[in-house]
Structure 1
Amino acid sequence: MHCTLVPPYILQALARQDDPAVRDAAVRTLAFEKTFAVSRLIGDRALRQATATTAPRLQRLIHDALNGEDLPGELVRREGAPASADVAVNEAYEGLGDTWELYLGVYGRNSIDDAGLALSGTVHFSEQYDNAYWDGEQMVFGDGDGMLFNRFTISVDVIGHELTHGVTGATADLAYKNQSGALNESISDVFGSMVKQYSLGQTAEEADWLIGAGLLAESVNGVALRSMRAPGTAYDDERLGGKDPQPAHIRDYLRTTSDNGGVHTNSGIPNHAFYLAAVALGGNAWERAGRVWFETLTGGELRSDATFPQFAQLTVATAERLLGTEARKAVAEAWAGVGLVTS
């Protein structure tokens, strides 16, 4: 599974820019990302086979790649150590902790693998690396190009998003192509947003529902990489390839062979369904809508090749089982709002 935060179509647009600094940073980022798919697959397989041996205990290890590409790099902060003078180190440390706290405190999951995995992250990866990713064993953060992208530790939802790929790989293992791949990306957005909401104490109504707020530099016409509240509105900048292409409704589903069948684009549809469900159910998203999505992901019924309608039907059934008939109705109406009618 080859999952990175910034979609390939944005990086490809950057690689076509006249500005040599922007172009070269994007070309280097695209070239590197072809090299880690195998390690990601092996790492996620190990997560699925993990067995708990200790009681839940947060363990964080933050490394510095010193703008090189050897992982994990130099250990610069471990669990309980004082804050660093390096803001990226501290943001990574806090973001890993916020994600761990959501999964354990709300869903009773003992780290990403449910077996107490220590959370490791590496900052300052490569030079002007325009992305962040989970490689099956740890988080890796680039510093951005400094022109269009800021450092990738800046948004806690980015960290929650990437670590959730590890949770998905350890549970339903959704195939990273077509609709199952878009669900894979959407689930990472869903829990990434909830990590931020949980850390800030925000209700579903109060949340901004943006993925990657703060990542885009001030010169970019945009607020984030994606919007769950309003897919297709996160940015509109020619340098990023134009307008945010995410659809919010199944009628606008993008049929393509690029980006593994449009996994970063079509994820806007289930993203918006979750937003509608969370607002309809009210309160804190992680308590009601989030629990429905978590139980659907980890309950054992979700197939690795699941389609949108199959996932929708499972969430509706799970909502009724966990929360009753009114919740079932709210979740069904949320899916109907994106054009997917459940029985």
Structure 2
Amino acid sequence: MDSTVTPHHPAAPVFCTIIPPHVLDTLAQHEDPARHEPARRTLEHDHLRRTHRREIAAEGRTPGEPGAAADKPNRTIYDAEHREELPGTKVHEESDGPSQDGSVNRAHAGLGATFDLYLKVYGRKSIDGAGLPLDATVHYGEKYDNAFWDGERMVFGDGDNDLFLDFTIPVDVIGHELTHGVIQYTANLDYEGQSGALNEHISDVFGALIKQYTLGQSAAEADWLIGAGLLGPGVDSGKALRSMKAPGTAYEDDVLGKDPQPATMDKYVHTDKDNGGVHINSGIPNHAFYLAATDLGGNAWERAGQIWYDVLTGGKLAKNARFADFARLTLDAARARFGESDEHRALLKAWSQVGVTGKDTGTGGGK
């Protein structure tokens, strides 16, 4: 395990949300005000937050301070009381017993589950590797249909209780967003195009692993869904936000639309929206990870997850990395840790199956 992570101040982070803009764009066009108004307010809010993050980056300011190295989480939960002001009122500290507020308890537990995986499996002390305190705000905004990592804390909306439920419900959503923080303190991948899709992909991978680790599920037992349990009663046909097992099948609904994620490079989506489709094309490396992890069997966090963590923290992943660059690094990391092994062969096969091939990956031909 890597227990000697050297902390550093990250660059100013991007604003990362769990609900992709393309989903909210679809909902914002709905004829029913009860459905389009929450989506429009959420889109407007998220646009302002992203603009604010760009201003921070332009000014060179670095949000967030490292904490003292710790083997236990230091969690603080705030209540926004349905306002859009952060952090809100402090309502729960690490030493407190269970709250009467279910959202507070779920946020506390999800932060802890994320901390546990990174520490107990990979030897990483919190998000920054140096014991960063974990803060979260619940009950953010009115019918706010999203959750986000803002560089300093997790923030959860309550959802509209029609299409989306309380965003503290799925532990993988919490793990996904906090992993954006880990990326912020390590590779700091550019949030656009293929590097942005890798940013989303890595967050999905560790979100899924946190859920599997918490539930004690093997790769074969896991559902490989991101955000299962989040969709509300107004969604007639949908299981989750994304499927790593079968990208493009998470939902197909009259209200939400059709899941647009591709599973292979020949279906890569070229778009100017969503920073070049970062929430869409992440389905391709997601599927590669699923294929490799299930091929290897056992617990996905032990071998496939370890390789992904090695790449994320190894110092060789460029900010503007493309899928082929990432694939090559995973193959290098597999060879370095396991040798010419089942792990290396499973990755060669998985990347080839999704069409991420080329001389630079060692997976065969291709452009």
How high is the TM-score relative to the length of structure 2?
0.90
Structure 1 residue aligned with 2:22: 9
Contact 1:39 1:135 in 2 (8 A): no
1:175 aligned partner: 190
Q: Write the distance in 1 (CA, Å) between the matches of 2:182 and 2:24.
A: 26
SS in 2 for 1:63: strand
Paired position in structure 1 for 2:211: 196
**Residues 241-260 of structure 1: pairs in structure 2 closer than 5 A:** 242-260=257-275
SS at match of 2:48: coil
Corresponding residue of 1:28 = 41
Deviating 4+ runs (over 6 angstroms): none
Alignment partner, residue 166 of structure 2: 151
**Take 1:39 and 1:93, find their aligned partners in 2: how far apart are those partners?**
27
User: Aligned pairs, how many?
Assistant: 341
2 CA distance for matches of 1:263 and 1:15?
Answer: 20
Q: What is the letter of the counterpart of residue 234 of structure 2?
A: S
> What letter corresponds to residue 219 of structure 2 in structure 1?
A
Show the counterpart of 1:74: 89
| Pairwise CA distance, 1:170 | 0.8
Contact 1:111–1:117 (CA under 8 A) maintained in structure 2: yes
Gaps of 5+ in 1: none
Alignment-derived partner of residue 288 in structure 2: 273
Structure 1 counterpart of 2:247:
231
Give the aligned partner of residue 80 of structure 2: 65
How much has 1:39 moved relative to structure 2?
5.5
**Residue 122 (structure 1) shift:** 0.5
The residue number in structure 2 matching 1:106 is 121
Alignment RMSD:
1.6
Alignment CA distance shift 1:150-1:175 (3 Å): same
Partner of 1:329: 345
Provide Cα deviations, 1:151-203, integer angstroms capped at 9, x if missing partner. Answer: 10010000000000000011101000000000000000000000000001100
Partners of 2:350 and 2:35 lie apart in 1 by 40
SS in 1 for 2:278: helix
* Shift of residue 81, structure 1, vs aligned partner: 0.9
Report the 3-state secondary structure (helix = DSSP H, G, I; strand = E; otherwise coil) of the residue aligned with 1:198.
Answer: helix
Deviation at 1:45, TM superposition (A): 6.9
Q: Quick check: 1:229–1:275 contact (8 Å CA) kept in 2?
A: yes
Alignment gaps of 5+ in structure 2: 1-13, 363-367
Instruction: Answer yes or no: is the 8 Å Cα contact 2:187–2:315 preserved in 1.
Output: yes
- 1:56 to partner: Cα distance: 2.8
Partner of 2:134: 119
Counterpart AA for 1:340: V
